[in-house]
A and B are shown apart, each in its own frame.
Chain A
Amino acid sequence: MSQAADKADPARALPGARAEAIDRRLSRRIPLAQGIRRQTLVGWLFVVPALLFYAVFVLQPLALTVQYSLYRWDGFSPATWVGLANYASVLSEPKLLETLFNAFRLVLFFSLIPVTLGLVTASVVHRVATGRLGTVSRTVLFLPQVIPLVAAGIIWGRLLSLSGLINQGLTAIGLGDITRAWLGDFDTALPAVGIIGIWVLLGFCTVLLLTGMAKIDAGLYESARLDGAGWFQEFRAITVPSLRYEIGVCLTVTIIAALAAFDIVYVSTGGGPGNATAVPGIQIYILAFLERQVGLASALAVVLVILVLLVILPIQRLSREDAR
């Protein structure tokens, strides 16, 4: 199949449009009602396997979690209906509330910083590194995304330990006084976990934003430059507005990563010291599997889902409206 043919028939280039086009052709040949029924049936046949998986592995657990949250249950013996009592506990116990606050503090590190830095990095790479250099820098930046989070947590745990590479470096440049076990210190544990998050998520944001930049019309930059715009003005007036949709996706993914954080925190600090890095994900795990408070754990999980939706939905709406 030649490229020319693809271009000539837009239906081939775009799977969705292609299907519609075929449908249109079909419906001309077969009586309308029959055509719709058949086309629907075929469509559903394609969708059903995925939908069943989605139902069994996503919808059902979600529904069960909501259901469990209304019971007092140890995960095994008969459950007792307690109504909304678990939710009252979640919203009144300082230890549980604290985890929610910590999650929002992580948003700064997991989301705001990677997205901001990602924008800057992407625009630099876009301008400076073209061709092979661009590919290499993109690969390097994206690497942390490929490494399992647990491995990242372990490696960073070593780097940030008292005898780790970071403290060795600080000592070497004469900053030996500020060395400490970064993940074991009350004041630095959360920012230290945050730095691991930045490292992991920066590459993701950069690559996504770079892809977005590639489709911005080069003519816009050209005319801006003719008008005497500098790098920053171009960045502010053309790049950022054109990337609103990509920025929205970055924010959504990273904010979810922050609020639902588990693996990095569990491996690097386990929620300690004290409760300095305790996040809902870890608390849910402890409640469900150590305390066997499945109901309370589920209630905290549901509250977390609601919080995530409350934060994410406005971002979704904003980025979509702006993109239009």
Chain B
Amino acid sequence: MLTVRFHRALAAWPAARLVVLTLATILVTACAAPGAVTTPSPAATGTQTSSAPSAVAAGPSCGTDPVKLNAYFETGFDLPFKLSDEFTKQYPNVTWDIKQDQFTNLMSSTPRLLAGDNPPDLIRLPSMVTLVKDGLLKNLDDYVTAFGWDKFPAAQLAQNRVASDGTRGSGSLYAAGLNYSLTGVFYNKKLAQQIGMTAAPTTVAEFEDLLAKAKTAGVQPIMMWNATASGGGLAFPLQNLMAAYGPTQPINDWIFQKPSATIDTSTNLTAAQHLQQWVEAGYFPKDVNAIEYTDANARFGKGEGVFMFNGDWQNAVYDKDMSSNVGFFVFPPGQAGGSVAAMSAPLTYGIAAKAKNADCAAFFFNWVATNEKARQIDVAVGGSNPGGPPDLAVPQAAAPVTNETLTAGADVAKDNGAMDFIANATGSIFAQGWTPELQKMVGGKQAAAGLLKAVQAEYEKELAR
């Protein structure tokens, strides 16, 4: 009815035409192909990078003139804020203009921020391949040589490298890690003792033996989350099992989108079958598909569950909730004496290609990795390894469990066992692949082989788009 009246009005009166013209203009201006205007070409970025050496020759730094670093941090994480405060204390000419946002919002807004009129000098990066392809991120290769980052362990920088074919893991460096988190198995010391665990298990079989003992003792063996809102947490034990039964390289290749990489391998099938056995044996909570991340942590903190797969960012919380009744070990290998592996990811920050204070931002990265005070903050606040040159000692932490994760991190580094997370292979492989398929496995609607096939199909579909 409304529309009919509107059209009649149009036909009759000139005033109406005027308004319609305005409307039409609004619509027409929107009719150019979306996204056509603002993109800088990769070539432009190239020239920017090549102009960097002159700055590098003078030694990139924050200089002595007042500098205001334009930064975007992730809401809810103290570490970068504490680091920026300390940095200003040491370099008073540097002040900060810090904006913060939720990680999920950053995921959708980062391209616009990087391409905008006020490109950030420092920004928390949710993912980087498409940003690099669009020429939005500064190539840090010149800083690698200027600051001697090439002497850092190679695995530290690998996850932030992007090759010219758009695959991650090798090529030029486009981001730096403020620290390097580690995942593994947390355990409730009291409950572990109760089921007869005297030392960390050295093989998967030993670990499974402990799970069975816990089940028999009537204790919840593993606390985990697997609700959609938090993403399928069962991907943590699954990837640990994958690395226990097979090499890490093919897993990383798959995450880095190397050509013809597949997750559907025979060793991964073995891993998925073990996970399925765990599900069927009732090692996970019966309502795991409805448990969200925060709920799982709260329940583990209250003493529900002997084991929990998670990362060292949770150290401080567990230590407080369980008053030091918490321990940590890296998931054991399939065979005794085999090499250990773990998901370990840098807390990734990048510099906009058009950033005004790129040198100062890079200097900040170098300071975080090498300055004693910064490394202390890194461990105390972030709970993770600060990375940096191998000859610098890792500072001691207040929470005992943090020292356990730091030691474990050294073991993983020695075995070169760092992996990125299988949930990060593509923008939505977690939401569209792992999470629903793992939930189906819990619900008895998906078996090990089908799970890997379904995720691989989703992966190929997403890469083909």
Contact = CB atoms under 8 A, between A and B. Distances in A.
Contacts of B427: 290-292
B228 A270 contact: yes
A161 B34 contact: no
A55 interface: yes
Interface string B428-444: 10011001110110110
Interface in B109-146: 111-112, 115, 130, 133-134
B289 A185 contact: yes
Interface string B372-408: 0000000000000000000000000000000000000
A153 to B, nearest CB: 10
Contacts of B134: 76-77
B115 A270 contact: no
Interface stretch (B21-29, B320-328, B337-345): B21-29
Nearest to A283: B432
A184 B38 CA distance: 44
A52 interface: yes
Nearest to A277: B228
B317 interface: no
Given A270-B229, A271-B228, A291-B462, A76 B111 contact: yes
Contact of B36 (A55, A60, A79): A79
B443 A79 contact: no
A26 B112 CA distance: 55
A180 B104 CA distance: 31
A290 B19 contact: no
A71 B34 contact: yes
A75 B31 contact: no
B228 A78 contact: no
B27 A59 contact: yes
Given A77-B35, A78-B39, A95-B432, A273 B289 contact: yes
Contact of B436 (A51, A63, A267, A275): A275
A183 B19 CA distance: 49
Contacts of B115: 76
Nearest to B432: A286
Q: Tell which of B13, B35, B291, B437 has the most Cβ of chain A within 10 Å.
A: B35
B39 A273 contact: no
Nearest to B426: A291
B15 A44 contact: yes
Interface in A48-86: 48, 51-52, 55-56, 59-60, 63-64, 67-68, 71-79, 81
B443 A273 contact: yes
A76 B39 contact: yes
A181 B34 contact: no
A40 interface: yes
A108 interface: no
A123 interface: no
B43 interface: no
Given A75-B108, A76-B111, A60 B27 contact: yes
B22 A55 contact: yes
B58 interface: no
A272 B228 contact: yes
B52 interface: no
Contacts of B426: 291
B107 interface: yes
B287 interface: yes
B437 to A, nearest CB: 8
Contacts of A182: 290
A290 B431 contact: yes
Contacts of A286: 428, 431-432
Contact of A181 (B107, B108, B112, B289): B289
Contacts of B35: 73-79
A274 interface: yes
Nearest to B108: A289
Nearest to B441: A274
A274 B26 contact: no
Interface of B: 13, 15-16, 19, 22-23, 26-27, 30-31, 33-36, 38-39, 104, 107-108, 111-112, 115, 130, 133-134, 227-229, 285-291, 426-428, 431-432, 435-437, 439-440, 442-443, 445-446, 462, 465
24 contacts: A44-B15, A44-B19, A48-B19, A51-B23, A60-B26, A72-B465, A73-B34, A76-B112, A77-B35, A77-B39, A78-B39, A161-B287, A162-B285, A183-B290, A184-B287, A184-B289, A267-B229, A271-B228, A273-B228, A273-B436, A273-B442, A274-B443, A287-B428, A291-B432
Interface of A: 40-41, 44, 47-48, 51-52, 55-56, 59-60, 63-64, 67-68, 71-79, 81, 95, 161-162, 180-186, 267, 269-275, 286-287, 289-294, 296
CB-based closest 3 A-B pairs: A184-B290, A270-B228, A272-B228
